[in-house]
């Protein structure tokens, strides 16, 4: 489907490319006859120098035509294939952005990198060099055989080409082996890429546990396996050319025996024999290339199937209704969940079961509970990072499935647990794709209680955070992520355990800055806030608190009501209060 879309837009560029490729093939097949005629001119006792010069001029013109035609067809066909490569890679990137988190949980980063590099490259080769090579090979082979029949002899042609089917069979059989072994190489490449990526991302853990030698041994084993697979691939590939050469060796021998006797008997000129051998050489080249063509076509087909599996993967569904995105001022961030139930693919039980709540616009909802009870899953559903059946969750009076994901997310500020940062400056991370307004950046950093620490860095807000924010501490990453969410001035703010890596004093300042205290003022005065936290002090002033256990709401109410209830929430509160007093 993606290929058809590309061909509708840019397929026209192949037409002039193939016209000049046909001219290139035709001109190439004229070279043997021109050379043969030159040999015949030299075979006479008193050769005509003018005729010889004309023949040399013809050969030179053929060379110029081949050069020009080859340059032009490569410009169109190879250039268009490069355009296809960029087109596919951009489509793949955009598609990956639309896929739900569940897709990435089933894929390794190595596989996804292989899709974007190896598979896209293989498809580009198929629709560029391989396509041209196949067309050129067929055209040259047919025109050469036709020339051998017309200009030399049918019987001699059939005798000389008799061994060629052996070369074709050998090429096809070896090509199948090459394809099989290439599949293994591709799989190992994905594994090796993923291992390297994981080792770089987890270098702190590797060093902290002194596991460098172990990881090095594992890498050596993977590299050795990759080497062996590539050697086996090379073994199969390297047999193709010798098999073809041996078969054509018989063809040349037959041609020399039959043609040589004809030349000695005077029934054939030496130039005609040279012409025949020139044509035979042109026929050999396509057969040598046949294995490579078949191999690369198979690679391209296999790679396209892999890519197509991603392109056809269902993404986060956009609304098919006539939902018209409202401007930010009209967005009403009130939420309602009715018996919300969600189960991960392959999971034995529901991650969320029968969750119901209401949050008015500008209100606050706190969510507590033990690890794995479904808190983060609920936030990802509200951000439409995962899909739900209709009727379970509404935002602003609309079923969440009727709101395009992009439209919804432009009104949401989401701070995930991991506090992921990109490899750019602190200011770039806070603005994140928007125009950088330094006054606004500083204000958001102040609200996130990270401004003093940023200003203490030598380069301040221009400090590079490193890959995944490795230059910052866990608490600093969380607060920069919070500042990033605040920068877009969201109507709905989702905080997933954002205060887990800060001290008690910073936590109190953050609660006050975010309007989670008794009064709601400032930047987030009209923002609906949903807070997930293990530290119950962050939820103390929420309009309602849901305490969850095993995907269900075990207790609900305001802070004072839950303490009076004397259940799990109250027990956790008293333990955390005692720990705080002890500190």
In the predicted structure, residue 460 carries a pLDDT above the cut 60: yes
Q: Which residues of 254-276 are buried (b: 16+ CB within 10 A; e: fewer)?
A: bbeebbeebbeeeebbebbbbbb
Write phi, then psi, for 439 (nearest 5 degrees).
-65, -45
CA torsion 189-194-199-200 (nearest 10°) is 100
pTM of the model: 0.69
In the predicted structure, residue 419 carries a pLDDT above the cut 90: no
Burial of 390 (0-12, 13-18, 19+ CB in 10 A): exposed
Residue 145: pLDDT band by 50, 70, 90 thresholds?
confident
Residue 359 CA, distance from chain mean position: 39
Instruction: Express as a percent the part of the chain with pLDDT over 90.
Output: 14
In the predicted structure, residue 292 carries a pLDDT above the cut 90: no
Q: Residues 569, 562: contact at Cβ < 8 Å? A: yes
Instruction: Check residue 582 and give its pLDDT.
Output: 46
**Assigned CATH class of 421-489:** alpha beta
Closest CA to 408 of 526, 468, 338, 492: 492
**Higher-confidence residue: 475 or 529?**
529
**Higher-confidence residue: 40 or 170?**
170
**Per-residue pLDDT averaged across 274-301, rounded?**
79
Q: Quick one: DSSP state of residue 567?
A: S
Instruction: Check residue 273 and give its pLDDT.
Output: 80
Matching fold, domains 2-311 and 421-489: no
Q: Residues 403, 362: contact at Cβ < 8 Å? A: no
The three-class DSSP label of residue 515 is coil
In the predicted structure, residue 41 carries a pLDDT above the cut 80: no
Q: How far apart are CA 371 and CA 365, in angstroms?
A: 18
Instruction: Check residue 520 and give its pLDDT.
Output: 59
**Per-residue pLDDT averaged across 329-350, rounded?**
85
C-alpha distances (whole Å) from 101 to each of 95, 352, 384 are 13, 17, 10
Residue 552: pLDDT band by 50, 70, 90 thresholds?
very high
Q: Residues 280, 255: contact at Cβ < 8 Å? A: yes
Q: Which parts of 260-385 are beta strand (E)?
A: 335-342, 352-359, 364-369
> Lowest-confidence range among 131-140, 326-335, 554-563?
326-335
Instruction: Check residue 108 and give its pLDDT.
Output: 73
Q: How far apart are CA 60 and CA 27, in angstroms?
A: 11
For 295-328, how does the pLDDT look when each residue is reduced to its tens digit (9 = 90+)? 788 778 878 888 888 888 877 765 555 555 554 4
> Lowest-confidence range among 38-42, 310-314, 427-431?
38-42
Mean pLDDT for the chain overall: 83
Instruction: Check residue 203 and give its pLDDT.
Output: 81
For 56-70, how does the pLDDT look when each residue is reduced to its tens digit (9 = 90+)? 888 889 889 989 999
Q: How far apart are CA 456 and CA 440, in angstroms?
A: 19
Would you kindly state where each structural domain of the chain is located, as residue ranges? 2-311, 330-411+491-582, 421-489
**Per-residue pLDDT averaged across 393-408, rounded?**
86
Q: Which parts of 77-122 are beta strand (E)?
A: none
Q: Residue 476 half-sphere exposure, CB side, CA atoms within 13 Å?
A: 19
> Lowest-confidence range among 33-47, 73-87, 238-252, 430-444?
33-47
Q: Quick one: DSSP state of residue 542?
A: -
Residue 556: pLDDT band by 50, 70, 90 thresholds?
very high
> Lowest-confidence range among 157-171, 277-291, 306-320, 539-553?
306-320
Q: How far apart are CA 71 and CA 19, in angstroms?
A: 12
Closest CA to 171 of 355, 294, 343: 294
Q: How far apart are CA 192 and CA 227, in angstroms?
A: 11
Q: Quick one: DSSP state of residue 129?
A: I
Question: E strand or H helix at 68, and its extent?
Answer: helix 49-73
Q: Residues 554, 373: contact at Cβ < 8 Å? A: no
Q: Which residues of 328-338 are buried (b: 16+ CB within 10 A; e: fewer)?
A: eeebbbbbbbe
Instruction: Check residue 325 and give its pLDDT.
Output: 52
Question: E strand or H helix at 555, and its extent?
Answer: strand 552-557
In the predicted structure, residue 291 carries a pLDDT above the cut 60: yes
Tell the CATH superfamily of the 2-311 domain. Answer: ABC transporter type 1, transmembrane domain (1.20.1560.10)
Which fold, 330-411+491-582? Rossmann fold (3.40.50)
């Amino acid at each position: 489907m993606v290929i058809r879309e590309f061909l509708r837009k840019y397929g026209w560029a192949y037409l002039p490319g193939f016209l000049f490729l046909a001219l290139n093939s035709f001109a190439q097949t004229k070279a043997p006859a021109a050379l043969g005629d030159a040999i015949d001119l030299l075979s006479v006792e008193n050769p005509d120098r003018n005729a010889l010069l004309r023949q040399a001029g013809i050969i030179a013109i053929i060379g110029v035509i081949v050069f020009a035609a080859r340059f032009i067809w490569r410009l169109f066909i190879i250039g268009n294939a490069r355009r296809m490569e960029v087109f596919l890679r951009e489509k793949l990137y955009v598609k990956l952005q639309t896929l739900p988190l569940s897709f990435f949980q089933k894929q390794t980063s190595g596989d996804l990198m292989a899709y974007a590099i190896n598979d896209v490259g293989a498809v580009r080769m198929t629709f560029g060099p391989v396509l041209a090579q196949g067309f050129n090979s067929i055209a040259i082979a047919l025109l050469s055989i036709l020339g051998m029949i017309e200009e030399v002899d049918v019987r001699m042609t059939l005798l000389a080409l008799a061994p060629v089917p052996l070369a074709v069979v050998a090429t096809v059989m070896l090509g199948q082996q090459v394809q099989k072994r290439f599949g293994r190489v591709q799989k190992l490449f994905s594994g090796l890429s993923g291992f390297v990526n994981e080792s770089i991302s987890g270098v702190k853990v590797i060093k902290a546990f002194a596991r460098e030698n172990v990881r090095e041994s594992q890498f050596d084993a993977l590299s050795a396996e990759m080497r062996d697979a590539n050697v086996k691939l090379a073994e199969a590939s390297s047999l193709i050319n010798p098999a073809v050469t041996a078969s054509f060796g018989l063809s040349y021998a037959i041609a020399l025996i039959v043609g040589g006797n004809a030349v000695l008997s005077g029934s054939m000129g030496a130039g005609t024999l040279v012409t025949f051998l020139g044509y035979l050489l042109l026929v050999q080249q396509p057969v040598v290339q046949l294995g490579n063509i078949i191999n690369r076509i198979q690679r391209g087909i296999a790679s396209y199937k892999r890519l197509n599996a991603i392109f056809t993967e269902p993404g986060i569904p956009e609304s098919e209704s006539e939902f018209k995105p409202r401007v930010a001022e009209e967005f009403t961030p009130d939420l309602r969940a009715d018996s919300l139930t969600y189960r991960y693919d392959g999971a034995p039980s529901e991650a969320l079961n029968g969750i119901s709540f209401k949050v008015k616009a500008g209100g606050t909802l706190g969510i507590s509970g033990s690890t794995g009870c479904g808190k983060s899953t609920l936030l990802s559903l509200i951000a439409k990072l995962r899909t739900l059946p209709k009727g379970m969750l509404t935002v602003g009076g609309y079923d969440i499935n009727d709101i395009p994901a992009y439209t919804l997310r432009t009104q949401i500020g989401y701070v995930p647990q991991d506090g992921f940062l990109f490899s750019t400056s602190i200011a770039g991370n806070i603005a994140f794709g928007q125009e950088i307004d330094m006054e606004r950046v500083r204000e958001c950093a102040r609200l996130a209680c990270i401004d003093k620490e940023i200003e203490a860095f030598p380069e301040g807000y221009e400090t590079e955070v490193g890959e995944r924010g490795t230059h910052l501490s866990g608490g600093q990453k969380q607060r920069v992520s919070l500042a990033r969410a605040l920068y877009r001035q969201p109507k709905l703010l989702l905080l997933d355990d954002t205060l887990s890596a800060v001290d008690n004093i910073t936590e109190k300042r953050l609660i006050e800055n975010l309007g989670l205290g008794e009064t709601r003022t400032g930047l987030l005065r009209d923002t609906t806030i949903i807070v997930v936290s293990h530290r119950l002090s962050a939820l103390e002033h929420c309009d309602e608190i849901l305490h969850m256990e095993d995907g269900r709401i075990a207790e609900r109410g305001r802070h004072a009501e839950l303490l009076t209830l004397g259940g799990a929430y109250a027990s956790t509160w008293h333990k955390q209060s005692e720990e705080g007093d002890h500190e």
